Amino acid sequence: MDKVRARFFSRYYAFLLSLPPDSLNVTGKCRIAIEGVIEIERGLYIRSRNYNRVEISVGREGKLKIGESVFINQGVRIVATTTVTIGNNTHIGDETIIIDNDFHGVKGNPPKKGPIEIGSNVWIASRAIILRNVKIGDNSIVGANSVVTKDVPPNCIVAGNPAKVVRILDENS
C-alpha cells in the first residue's frame, strides 16, 4: 500500500510541478504554493508525512532552483520570495527551515530579503535554520539546530546559534 501511495503522490506532484513522473519521488502529502518559478532537476526525493508535511512556498517574484538527487525530509519548510538555490546531492534534515526574507519590517521599514544559495553535496541536519543572504559552500555540513546567518565556506562543518565553523573537512574525504 505504501508503494501505491508513494507512486500516486509522485505522479500528482510531478504533474503539479510540470515534471516527468519518474523524476520525482514523494512519500506523503505536501503543501506547495507556487506563484513564482520552480526549476527542478531529476531525482528529487521528498519524504513528507501527514503529521509533519513538507511545505514549499514560492512568492510572485520568487525562484526556487533544486539540483539533481536532492533529498528533502519531513517537516522541511522552504520559502522563496527572491531566490533559493539548492545544489546537487544535497540532503536536508527534518524540520529544517530555509527562508529568504524576514516577512516583517522593524520601525516601519520594509522587510529585508536576500538570496540563499546552498552548494552541492551539502548535508543540513535536523531543525537547522538557513536565513536570507547566505551562501553555503560545496561539501559542507550544517549541524542540527544551527542558525545560519552568514556565509559558510566550502568543506567545513558549522554548528551553533549563530552557526560558526567548528571543523575544516579534508577535501579528499
What residues contact residue 108 under an 8 Å CB cut-off, 6+ apart?
A: none
Nearest to 27 by CA among 39, 43, 10: 10
Output the pLDDT for position 170.
Answer: 83
> 163 falls in which pLDDT band (50, 70, 90)?
very high
Q: How many helices (DSSP H) and strands (DSSP E) are in the chain?
A: 1, 19
- What pLDDT digit, counting tens, does each position of 72-127 carry? 999 999 999 999 999 999 999 999 999 999 877 778 888 889 999 999 999 999 99
Output the pLDDT for position 51.
Answer: 87
Which positions are annotated as active-site residues? 104
Nearest to 84 by CA among 19, 135, 156: 135
> 50 falls in which pLDDT band (50, 70, 90)?
confident
What is the rounded distance in angstroms from the CA atom of residue 31 to the CA atom of residue 122? Answer: 24
Q: pLDDT > 70: what percent of the chain?
A: 94
Yes or no: domain 2-168 corresponds to CATH 2.40.30.10: no
> Is the pLDDT higher at 50 or at 79?
79
Output the pLDDT for position 49.
Answer: 86
